Amino acid sequence: MLRCNIPPANFSPGAGHADRTARAPAAPFHRGDRLVSDDSTSPFSTNPWLEAQRQYLDAWGAMWRAAAPSAAPAPTSPADSAGQTWSDSVTAWWRSLIAPSAPPPMQTVLAAVLAQGQAYLQMGETFMRLLQRMGRPEAAAERWQEQVAAYFGDLKAGFSNGSHGAAPLRSLMAFWELPLDTWRRTVSSSAATPGDFLAGLKPQGASDFTDDLHERLGRFLSVPALGYTREWQERGQQLLRLGLEYQRAFQDYAEVVSKLGVDAIDVFQRRLVERGDAGTPITTLREAFDLWVDAGEEAYAKLVSTDEYAEVYGTLVNRLMALKQQGRRMVDEAAGGFGLPTARDLSAVQRRQQELNREVAALRQELAALRTRRTWSQTPAPSAGGAEE
Amino acid sequence: MLPPETFRITPDQAMREMQDFGARLTRGLQTLGDLGEIDVGATAKDVVYREGKMVLYRFRPLARELRRVPVMITYALVNRPYMIDLQEDRSLVRGMLKGGLDVYLIDWGYPDGGDRFLSLDDYINGYMDRCVDVIRRRHALDKINLLGICQGGTFSLCYAALHPEKVRNLITTVTPVDFHTPDNLLSRWVRHLDVDLLVDTLGNIPGELLNWTYLSLKPFRLTGQKYLDMVDQLESPAKAKSFVRMEKWIFDSPDQAGEAFRQFTKDFYQRNALIKGEVSIGGHPVDLTRVAMPVLNIYAADDHLVPPAASRVLGDYVGTDDYTALEFPGGHIGLYVSGKSQATIPPAICRWLSER
């Protein structure tokens, strides 16, 4: 078991660190406008942290050097008791210590830098595993090819089925979670069900189940509405129908986007071969990262410039808007029934207000022109539509 | 087949690289945490006119002698106009002021629900026209110079076609004209959108939605790689501040007035009606052949938002005999904020105007 002085991922000053908190100031994070982190005696100093990072990586390096190059399985980055890796810990430590004390506008930047820093470090850890699997530089070419093929095979499999194996590279593509997540949040505010209740399903293989579900629900929703409340019931059925249509559009979109990971790996491999053939090898981790970014952009650009993508994207937005609009209509109807102002009422007022603004601006302009004409040579002109200062 | 010599990294070296990066990240995050408030807008300016949320500013001159005809800058409705005056050493405005120009700027503000029915007619024949009149009166001139930025360039172009008697010279920068060039991703993405349904449902279009759309043009670079690139520079507080200023600007996105968004997206992006002569603003057709005043068209060779081909064609449609094109070797934003642009763009604008 590897031991080092890395702070635990859930480390927070003043919580369970008696020897540290004893020396900690009562208001720990700021002294005036300065963050108290450059003082080596402070529990928030970065120096012990940097030293901990060094020790940790040294220990990890010693561990993989000790492993036999060909037979032993590659050591992975040691994890703490919570199963977190070194890069996870770096991020968690900074989140707990620095991020909360930064001014609010800086939080977004810190979060972005941290997320990418973590992604980069995770990629470094993945590469370390690859280098270890390939053995020493003097290993035979056949073994190299075998190991590289296995490595990329694992990554592709991870992207295809969402397994944990692809997590490091997947984290570099976290952006792809963003549009789907945004849609889920948007839907939450308008649909009867919280969030996207089918979103957890993986695109591949999910369609059999969801098609069947949609068909059954479709049959149920086509039952004619009866009785005193039939109009309300019909609107409810329409809302659910639109919800199902949106679900289909969401799955189509997710399926198109899900190809991206595998495509990016293919481009990455091709670019690596090109570099090898051209005699310009990858000499740093950062070069490998930049090549991965280029590969991602290339695969992405190819995908999103297709008519297929434009169509599934347009359909997704249109279906979501149709769903939201139907939900709003029903809310409006209910609010109107209680004598409350509705969105439709507000919209009518806003439209009328804009018409009045135009009329007022035109009248002011006409008045200003008349005044200017009368006093052109004597005095400066007054304001037109608004207020000159 | 991947040649064995593709990787020339030893595990020891990779380990050192990760360790070094971790140390730089640690120190960089500390710098960011210590930065405090971020100021934007480097040059002093005064309000000369306001109407609703729109404000017309005049920048305080920096040259002893001012040119007689002022320039009115019209910014896009997306993002905020302080991008052209981000900080002292990255300011298009400052360069123009130092060149002796008298510079006005329209700031559209942040539309809210009450502005939902603002149309392109309100923006172009309303706000813009009244701002032009204010400046004409202040300077006792019949015509002034216009400079438009991105969508503001398209607005300026439409304005010059609708009111040519008030425009002496027109400068367009990174301005979309042909919206259907093959490399225009934005226009491709909106082609299947039901824009009426979108606007009728949402009212104003949220700024975050547009922001996400722009970032998703190059997601790996704009949401990932650039932050790693910055880690190398974050140890310098001055560089960190510049970086955070840009970040503040990128994510400072006003909502879009629904009706204006509806018309702009349908007529310009979906129908490409500007170059077909089929755009009508407030019932008045926009005929680009009426743009007979001198035109300077500046575009960026590496623009991912407005592809150069979308701007370059302007000369084919305007009615002027005095047309100048200037290609900047950089990107959409770099044209205003890069060090390279500071030395080239403002002097080029001043020189071109002084010759006219």
Each residue of A158-213: pLDDT tens digit?
A: 666 554 445 555 555 554 555 555 555 555 544 444 444 444 444 445 556 566 66
What is the distance in angstroms between the Cα of B170 and the nearest Cα belonging to chain A?
Answer: 24
The pLDDT, as a whole number, for residue B243 is 87
The pLDDT, as a whole number, for residue A70 is 45
What is the distance in angstroms between the Cα of B138 and the nearest Cα belonging to chain A?
Answer: 8
Q: Is the pLDDT of residue B304 over 80?
A: yes
Q: Write the DSSP string, B276-342.
A: TT--EETTEE--GGG--S-EEEEEETT-SSS-HHHHHTHHHH---S-EEEEEESS-TTHHHHSHHHH
| A300 interaction partners in chain B (CB closer than 8 Å) | 219-220
d(CA A75, CA A378): 89
Kindly state the tokens that stand for A140: 């035979």
Q: Is the pLDDT of residue B348 over 90?
A: yes
d(CA B287, CA B297): 18
Burial zone of A227 (CB within 10 Å; 0-12 exposed, 13-18 middle, 19+ buried): exposed
Put simply, whether B134 touches A (Cβ < 8 Å) is yes
d(CA A342, CA A355): 20
Dmax over CA atoms of chain A, in Å, equals: 99
Beta bridge mates, B91: B85
CB contact under 8 A, A276 and B193: no
Q: Are A269 and A308 in contact (CB under 8 A)?
A: no
CB contact under 8 A, B228 and A297: no
Contacts of A274 (CB under 8 A, 6+ apart): none
| B203 interaction partners in chain A (CB closer than 8 Å) | 347
Closest A-chain CA to B38 = A105
How do residues A86-131 score in pLDDT, each as one tens digit? Answer: 566 666 666 665 556 666 667 777 777 777 777 777 777 777 666 6
Q: Any idea which of A74-83, B89-98, B103-112 has the lowest mean pLDDT?
A: A74-83
The end-to-end CA distance of chain B, in Å, is: 62
CB contact under 8 A, A145 and B192: no
The pLDDT, as a whole number, for residue B186 is 92
* A184-191 CB contacts, 8 Å cutoff, 24+ apart: A186/A320, A186/A324, A187/A246, A187/A320, A187/A323, A190/A323, A190/A324, A190/A327, A190/A328, A191/A243, A191/A323, A191/A327
CB contact under 8 A, A293 and B201: no
Task: List, as ranges, residues 242-271 from B with C-beta within 8 Å of A.
Answer: 243-244, 247-248, 251
- CA torsion through residues A49, A52, A58, A62, sign: negative
At B230, which amino acid appears?
M
Q: Are B166 and B136 in contact (CB under 8 A)?
A: yes
Q: Is the pLDDT of residue A380 over 70?
A: no
The chain-wide mean pLDDT, for chain B, equals 92
Q: Is the pLDDT of residue B180 over 80?
A: yes
Q: Is the pLDDT of residue B149 over 90?
A: yes
How do residues A33-48 score in pLDDT, each as one tens digit? Answer: 333 344 444 444 556 6
Instruction: Give the model's confidence band at A12: pLDDT under 50 very low, under 70 low, under 90 confident, else very high.
Output: very low
How do residues A244-302 score in pLDDT, each as one tens digit? Answer: 898 899 888 888 887 887 888 889 888 888 888 888 888 888 888 888 888 888 988 99
**Angle at CA of residue B303, ends B302 and B305, nearest 5°:** 155
Give yes or no: B150 in active site. yes
CB contact under 8 A, A53 and B189: no
The pLDDT, as a whole number, for residue B1 is 65
How do residues B61-90 score in pLDDT, each as one tens digit? Answer: 999 999 999 999 999 999 999 999 999 999
Nearest to B326 by CA among B354, B292, B295: B295
The pLDDT, as a whole number, for residue A71 is 43
Cβ–Cβ pairs < 8 A, chains A and B: 271
Phi/psi of residue A38, nearest 5 degrees: -100, 10
Q: What percent of chain B has pLDDT over 90?
A: 74
The chain-wide mean pLDDT, for chain A, equals 67
Q: Is the pLDDT of residue B16 over 50?
A: yes
